[in-house]
Amino acid sequence: MSVETDETWTSDEYGRSHEGRVGVLLDDGSVPKPVYFDSASGSSGWEVSHWSVYDGAGTYQPRPKAHLLRAECSCGWTGPRHTVDWTTAGELPFHESGLRTAERCEDDWDAHIRDVATATIPLPAELEALFQSVTAAIENLARDSPTAAVKAARTLELIAQRTAHWPANDARDQDPQRVAADFGLSVDATRALLARFGGWHSRG
């Protein structure tokens, strides 16, 4: 048996520390189990937990029917609940009739990511402006010389390795939860980040 994974959302900044998805709740408030589908041959099947399969369809063994959709994040955050409107769905399959509700969930997760960014440790305004200027300069350089742009990016990479080594070692000795909150990452992802810049092995 295989398992079909959900459609998920991630950001470049926070990766799987804040991986979002559309969650489903039934009318009793419970979270449904993945739906099992037989293969055409009947010899094997697969489980699916994408929100769109919870449509109440099926003759012999009806699938659970979604009552609410909400955004969920791997950090444990959940968004506001949005009621599924079955009255106006008509003959449309759920992946079409419920799409706008699912998109509202993604909008909620986007707002959550903005809140995460706001809660991280701020950088000095002049440094933020410098990063934006360097980014624009490399993008402009890439139009004339892709190799020069890559060399510039490589230079930034070397600067990051040199300048972050000792700060990463110092941060290693601080409270892991507080350091993780400063980055907006999970504790495990923070350990891996510090290990990469600090030059030691990370177990998780």
Distance (Å, rounded) from C-alpha 168 to C-alpha 52?
43
Instruction: State the pLDDT at residue 38.
Output: 78
- In 20-145, which residue ranges form alpha helices assigned H by DSSP? 94-97, 99-119, 125-144
Backbone angles phi, psi at 114, to 5 degrees: -65, -40
The domain locations on the chain are 2-119, 125-198
Residue carrying structure tokens 């959709």: 69
Instruction: State the pLDDT at residue 132.
Output: 97
Distance (Å, rounded) from C-alpha 50 to C-alpha 44?
19
Those residues of the chain that have pLDDT short of 50 are 1-3, 204
Among the listed residues 192, 196, 184, the one whose alpha carbon sits nearest the alpha carbon of residue 123: 184
Summarised one tens digit per residue, pLDDT across range 67-118 is 999 999 999 999 999 999 999 988 899 999 999 999 999 999 999 999 999 9
Residue carrying structure tokens 């699912």: 102
Strand-pairing partners, residue 71, are: 22
